[in-house]
Structure 1
């Protein structure tokens, strides 16, 4: 008895110690022995100088405190790959920072590909622990489960059915995004009278008079039908869009941005959401969501706005072809209704982020901005090489004089070299620009999709590439890039 009491006290002391540390520091000397003791652990392999690691660290620590309180607890730990954890990092093939891996009982289970904010880490890791669907064995367990501050999906199964099998399959598929539970408890099934069915419950803080607090599945017993049921009902008429779920809100999309805060100001938050819901109940074919203005300031900036005022929301939209629209009138139910109507009918002009069109564009390298992009790049009647750059980019600065030389060398050819500041102008969606500089080749026929330039960055590299790709052979260079007879050597 004393031994058992001592073990309980020791276990409590050990958990308290871990909680105090939040994120456990591991090294080569104790990694294997420590991780083997954890049922589930998320390990961050990092370098102290890494900017992304520094950004992740506070989110990681916040998530660690929350996950250690789970049953069973999930441990978050970190390994310094530049000092005491070099061998461990090499052992697990760490080549970039931060690298996150999920371990179970000392063995790598999978790479972590979830969100990088604390709430997202917690939700993702909770989905990795235990079965994909929680057994709701009693009314108390059931009530606690459906009282969560998030959407939950519950299967009521009086008997073993095909639906139960499909339910477990969909739970396995969506466990990282959705909380699933199931019950075979007679008292629960009799009380709620859902026999062999599935119900989606929305969190209480999103409760409103425009839609039910729960939705009962009434489709065919198939994986696709269950998937569709959950996906179409998960966010309701007006979702709460956050960093960890933003991928679920696809265009055509209308977002309402204001001081969304369900912790400090739930009443004020729902005051505006209810007005959006009033409009949303009669809208079809559109995704609507509320957004915390501070979390999505970068999006607000993309629409040319510096900030969202404190008194009323602003409304921003994206069409299926990724064009941007701003509701210019002050927020009201009537104005939102009119804006959505005009947006869906194509009766408003999109917002284009653009610098002013250059008054003089006679230099060898032409300057494109969003407002003249089609004229300078797409419909100019010649083959074109376009560079998307950022003014602060060192590689772009190094490329600039070479790019200018190429343009001068080919100024008598039916080829245009163009540059555009991608930080000050909207880049058309047909170009995938994720870093700088990014260059694309566009044949003059206009039928071929833009081709990403992956060649070298010196004068000869560019000339050789253009000579080989030109729709019509260049006047001064053959297809290999060599000057034709009588032409000046490079």
Structure 2
């Protein structure tokens, strides 16, 4: 769940501080409440009015029970505050205004779409953080690709802390320049420039045209080239693929902005004091040790991505791996796959890289034991609803002698609290049934194993005796009778109800 509690509360706290600051500066603050920076468009007429009255509009299409939407909410609010006067951010609830969402073919939530003067101008592909959204919108107000007209301009452009992609074209009318600009439009979260200055082409050894991706100066090292040149025929698709493949390099620095992009692949991550401003030598020292080992495995054909991250910046993720935030010098190393499997390096990181090499070799050989974040197994489970944790999940839920209904909840979730008495009543009705067990698990304190997909709270699954590999997502109403009727239809045996419930059923 990626440290969902901390992830929710810190952005919310930051956004709240910004709102309070703006509110207190208002002369009406003593007799009013802080305004919301993001307007909820509740009808098609509201949407159309806002769409055609704004030069630039970023719309978040969401659903209330979507977990990712909940996590985005405070970030989106903070971005709106920081972008006041630059762009307008609004929200559309697709459960209340389904027609609008069908019009724009919204299939996943949340989806962010940009509109210019009423016309759709693209779908946001960046991370769901305030910083990334702000950067995206600010870039919309600038020219697309910056044109470089001198060596000094080029050198200044390449000094940025992010990678830079530069197109070199002898003729500004080249059709390949047009393809380069189209690729730039599709990858707006990255930095682009182009030039047709003969001297600059000559310095890069380019005769007529070419594309070079320059890595940031502070990340230059002996294990990979500081610049990568595009090769082969020009096409928008090939240019995009070239940039996406090379933009991160062998071992990038993970930030809040690029976190989601890096996690689209299986990733080894090293947490330590990553700081190229205050600790450049120490940061480079450990990164070089990681790259030395990573390059060896890459050369052997093993596929795994690598990154480093500041331990203090990502303090909220450390409990996901059983770690505490600290200031130790040695990197803490973990692996997280796209399936959510986690592995933790227990051996202390060695300066010669041998401990890391052993850890990775065991991972590639399939000999590492997965790590599960779990609360302690309850000593007593006397209540009608059995409390389970990651460590006893398999024993309880995958028991082939039991049908199981499981509620994945979050302690802070208001909807979960409203469900709680109904869920307990359901369990009380089935407390004497030897074939059915009603359980719940705090999905913010325990890892949820695949194939369970928990993106919002509460999420309820029914797990039949003979189909433990294929749990069924419950999508019905939360009324007790609806839950009970569902279990009755799906259960492996006829339900054994409490005496009072049996009598009531017979009377009906």
Question: Hey, what does 2:139 align to over in structure 1?
Answer: 127
Partner-residue secondary structure (3-state), 1:403:
helix
Which secondary structure does the structure 2 equivalent of 1:418 belong to? strand
1:425-482 Cα offsets, whole Å, 9 max, x none, are 11113222233322112233317732322222232121112122334554669xxxxx
Listed one character per residue, the Cα deviations across residues 60-113 of structure 1 (whole Å, up to 9, x for unaligned) are: 67678xxxxxxxxxx5377999xxxxxxxxxxxxxxxxx999786x76876995
Structure 1 position 141, deviation (Å) = 2.7
For the Cα contact (< 8 Å) 1:40–1:129, is it kept in 2? no
Question: In the alignment, does 2:307 pair up with 1:289?
Answer: yes
1:308, distance to aligned residue in structure 2 (A):
3.3
Q: What is the SS of the residue equivalent to 1:384? A: strand
Larger Rg: 1
Distance 1:40 1:385 in 2: 47
Residues 346-370 of structure 1, C-alpha deviation per residue, up to 9 Å, x if partnerless? 2221211122334455654333221
Question: Tell me, which stretches of 5 or more residues in structure 1 are unaligned?
Answer: 1-20, 27-35, 45-49, 65-74, 82-98, 478-482
Name structure 2 gaps, 5 residues minimum.
Answer: 1-21, 27-34, 38-51, 61-69, 92-110
Equivalent position SS for 2:132: helix
Match of 1:181 in 2: 193
1:343 matches 2:363: yes
Query: Counterpart in 2 of 1:8?
Result: none
2:385 corresponds to which of 365, 388, 394: 365
Instruction: Classify 1:101/1:448 alpha carbon distance in 2 versus 1 (closer, same or farther; 3 Å).
Output: closer
Alpha carbons of structure 1 residues 391 and 115: separation in structure 2 relative to 1, 3 Å: closer
Q: Is the 8 A contact 1:41 1:76 kept in 2?
A: no
**Could you tell me which residue of structure 2 aligns to residue 202 of structure 1?**
215
The residue that corresponds to 1:396 in the other structure is 416
Structure scoring higher RCO (CA < 8 A, sep ≥ 6) equals: 2
Q: Select between 227-236 and 455-464 the one with higher mean Cα deviation.
A: 455-464
1:70-469 alignment runs, 5 A limit: 75-76=85-86, 113=124, 119-159=131-171, 161=174, 163-175=176-188, 177-194=189-206, 195-250=208-263, 251-284=265-298, 285-332=303-350, 333-361=353-381, 363-410=383-430, 411-412=432-433, 414-446=435-467, 449-469=470-490
Q: 1:486 to 1:245 in 2, by over 3 A?
A: closer
Instruction: Summarize the alignment of residues 6-25 of structure 1 with structure 2, pairs less than 5 Å apart.
Output: none
Give the whole-Å Cα distance in 2 for the aligned partners of 1:138 and 1:217. Answer: 22
Structure 1 residues 336 and 107 mapped into 2: Cα distance closer, same or farther (>3 Å)?
Answer: same
> What SS does the corresponding residue of 1:153 show, helix, strand or coil?
strand
Q: Matches of 1:336 and 1:449 in 2, distance apart?
A: 36
Using the TM superposition, name which of 286-295 and 390-399 deviates more: 390-399
When residues 39 and 186 of structure 1 are mapped into structure 2, their CA distance, relative to the original with a 3 A threshold, is farther
CA–CA distance in 2 between the matches of 1:359 and 1:370? 15
Task: Give the distance between the partners of 2:346 and 2:324, measured in 1 at CA.
Answer: 14
Instruction: Report the alpha carbon displacement of residue 407 of structure 1 after superposing the two structures with TM.
Output: 2.3
CA spacing shift, 1:62–1:374, aligned 2, 3 Å: same
Query: Using a 3 Å threshold, how does the CA distance of structure 1 residues 364 and 116 change in structure 2: closer, same or farther?
Result: closer
Question: Structure 1 residues 448, 301: CA separation in 2 closer, same or farther (over 3 Å shift)?
Answer: closer
Q: Distance in 1 between matches of 2:504 and 2:186?
A: 67
Instruction: Name the SS for the 2:223 alignment partner.
Output: coil
Secondary structure of 2:165's match? strand
How far the C-alpha of 1:312 sits from its partner, in A, is 2.1
By how many angstroms is 1:315 displaced? 0.9
Q: Conserved in 1, the CA contact under 8 Å of 2:127 and 2:258?
A: no
Q: TM-score, normalised by structure 2?
A: 0.71
> Over aligned residues, Cα RMSD in angstroms?
4.0
